[in-house]
Amino acid sequence: MANYEQIIKLSLERGFYFPSSEIYSDAPAGFWEYGPNGVNIKNKFIDLWRKELVRKATMVEIDGAQIMSENVFIASGHIKNFSDPIIKCSGCKSTFRADRFISEKTGQEVPERINENEINVLIKKNNLKCPKCDSDFEESGRFNMMFKLGIGPNNDEAYLRPETCQSIFVDFSRLFKVMRGKLPFGVAQIGKSFRNEIAPRQSLLRLREFYQAEIEVFFNKETVNQIAGFEEIKDVILKIFYDDTNKELTVQEAINQEIIPNKLVAYYLVLLKQFYEKTGIDMEKTRFRKLSNEEKAFYATIAFDFEVETSVGWLELVACNDRSDYDLSEHSKTSKQNLEVIDPHTQTKILPQVFELSMGIDRSIYAILEHSFFDDIENERTVLRLKPYLAPITVGILPLVKKDGLGEMATKIFSDIKRDFNVFYDDAGSIGRRYRRLEEVGTPFAITIDHKTLEDQTVTIRYRDDMSQKRIDVSKIKEIINSLLNN
């Protein structure tokens, strides 16, 4: 298992990801680029997400705009809630979280949603000064985590979305109609979200611009226990961290003990678990953490975080929230549109509830890299033991030597298969070095062209994990790699 520094080093050296605009000294923190290897693994991760979540659970996918109007975020609550009250010292310019600062100094409870006037009053009343330089505070303000934009010549107020899901909520009415929706109705989206983090840190783990893969399941709360696929998954064991203890229990038991509220939530938690099993993340180091009321986002009634243990601690990869009818109800009020639908099953008119799986793609990629990293001391190599279908390069084509026509033969094989897979051709240096380079970026298969190839049209295929080799016919290469990818 690797640590954070090793992964960063590998990423920089081998082009997985690196800081954005790094040739400029004013490049702000929190923005990273995916390089060639990183893009491949990200795209393949997304392919897997589509296959194992979107298609498996029969959802639809959309691709919404990243810029949305002010009203969207008034309705969503982000204008009001997605910000922290702050106070700034007039002398040394130190900034403090107002609510925490006041309650610390006065010992009295200060609600997080406190407004600016109340803060100013409390500061005056208690004669609070800056703890560092004893100056007075400026008028209190709010720091909103959304990026504000001006649209058109009048600079109409708009924001970069802080989560992708608002597109799904505002589009719900049309989507339900045009897709002839039934409940539960799953809508998925991959895209970028933007948050003006105070202190972005740790590369892909806390970004200001990041990828989310979100799934919003609209459902009728009267039928949350009538879930078609539940029988098949009721004995699946989940690890749930709750009340400071780890519990391992079947979803049926979790429902019986009221840890999981209903079959619908259970179904999607299992779906998510099964997805992550296929990413190669070590499932022994994962858990669902049930959040307490204090930890939950402002829109959530029930929340589970899917977490994975890494060298930098437990990382939250997916937020699984029951958002109740909060979003549709607020959008309905603000837009003055009726967003109710008829549930075809019950023939009742309802405003659907929402259960979401909000996945951080960048963090997931990091976790996969870290869990795949293997320092193979015995064979003096480092290997990324990625699942073959996630590896940035699927197969390397290596002529044992350049001369004797082996180079030409290898080039021909390369041309024959390069549209089918991510293939990398390498004839530089010793064969052992070329194998090492490939396995360092997780390439699962290497085809070696040797002198025997010219005699009988066979090549060797080498497997990354055990370094074993097998002779196969040149004509079978595509077929064999395809079958290995589908394992």
Partner RNA sequence: GCGACGGUCGUCCAGUUUGGUCUAGGACAUCAGAUUGCCAAUCUGGUAACCCGGGUUCAAAUCCCGGCCGUCGCACCA
State which of positions 29-88 bind RNA (CB under 7 A): 29-30, 84
Which residues in 222-261 contact RNA (CB under 7 A)?
none
Write down the residue that tokens 């609600």 correspond to.
111
Binding RNA (rule: CB under 7 A), the pick from 3, 13, 148, 454 is 13
Cα 354 from Cα 350, distance rounded (Å): 12
Q: Please give the DSSP secondary-structure letter assigned to residue 50.
A: I
Q: Is 445 helix (H, G, I), strand (E, B) or coil?
A: strand
225, 227, 229, 234 alpha-carbon torsion, rounded to 10°? -10
Binding RNA (rule: CB under 7 A), the pick from 94, 252, 274, 335 is 94
Residue closer to RNA (CB basis): 26 or 243:
26
Residue closer to RNA (CB basis): 16 or 230:
16
Residue 477 makes contact with RNA by CB under 7 A: no
For 371-427, the DSSP string reads: HHEEEETTTTEEEE---GGG-S--EEEEES-STTTHHHHHHHHHHHHTTTS-EEE--
Residue closer to RNA (CB basis): 67 or 467:
467
Binding RNA (rule: CB under 7 A), the pick from 128, 158, 207, 365 is 207
Minimum distance, C-beta of residue 264 to RNA, in the bound complex (Å):
21
Cα 289 from Cα 308, distance rounded (Å): 10
How far CA 434 is from CA of 14, 381, 399, 447, 448, in Å, comes to 14, 12, 10, 11, 11
Residue 284 makes contact with RNA by CB under 7 A: no
Stretch that binds RNA, among 35-43, 208-216, 333-341, 478-486 (CB under 7 A): 208-216
181, 186, 191, 196 alpha-carbon torsion, rounded to 10°? 110
Minimum distance, C-beta of residue 484 to RNA, in the bound complex (Å):
16
Minimum distance, C-beta of residue 297 to RNA, in the bound complex (Å):
5
Residue 431 makes contact with RNA by CB under 7 A: yes
Residue 310 makes contact with RNA by CB under 7 A: no
Binding RNA (rule: CB under 7 A), the pick from 52, 343, 356, 362 is 362
- Which tokens belong to 478? 């595509």
- Burial string for 244-263 (b: 16+ CB within 10 Å, else e) reads eeebebbbbbbbeeebbbbb
Binding RNA (rule: CB under 7 A), the pick from 184, 437, 442, 481 is 437
Which residues in 110-139 contact RNA (CB under 7 A)?
132
Residue 148 makes contact with RNA by CB under 7 A: no
Minimum distance, C-beta of residue 17 to RNA, in the bound complex (Å):
12
Total residues at the site for RNA (CB under 7 A)? 71
Minimum distance, C-beta of residue 376 to RNA, in the bound complex (Å):
9
Stretch that binds RNA, among 90-98, 117-125, 219-227, 273-281 (CB under 7 A): 90-98
Residue 25 makes contact with RNA by CB under 7 A: yes
Cα 487 from Cα 339, distance rounded (Å): 44
Residue 312 makes contact with RNA by CB under 7 A: yes
Residue closer to RNA (CB basis): 147 or 226:
147
Minimum distance, C-beta of residue 215 to RNA, in the bound complex (Å):
13
Residue 199 makes contact with RNA by CB under 7 A: yes
Closest CA to 286 of 227, 348, 370: 370
At position 313, the amino acid (one-letter code) is G
Residue closer to RNA (CB basis): 263 or 437:
437
Closest CA to 137 of 104, 102, 94, 90: 90
Q: How big, in percent rounded to 5, are the helix, strand and coil portions of the chain?
A: 35, 30, 35
Write down the residue that tokens 């699962």 correspond to.
444
Binding RNA (rule: CB under 7 A), the pick from 113, 429, 454, 475 is 429
Cα 269 from Cα 98, distance rounded (Å): 37
Binding RNA (rule: CB under 7 A), the pick from 51, 55, 56, 93 is 93
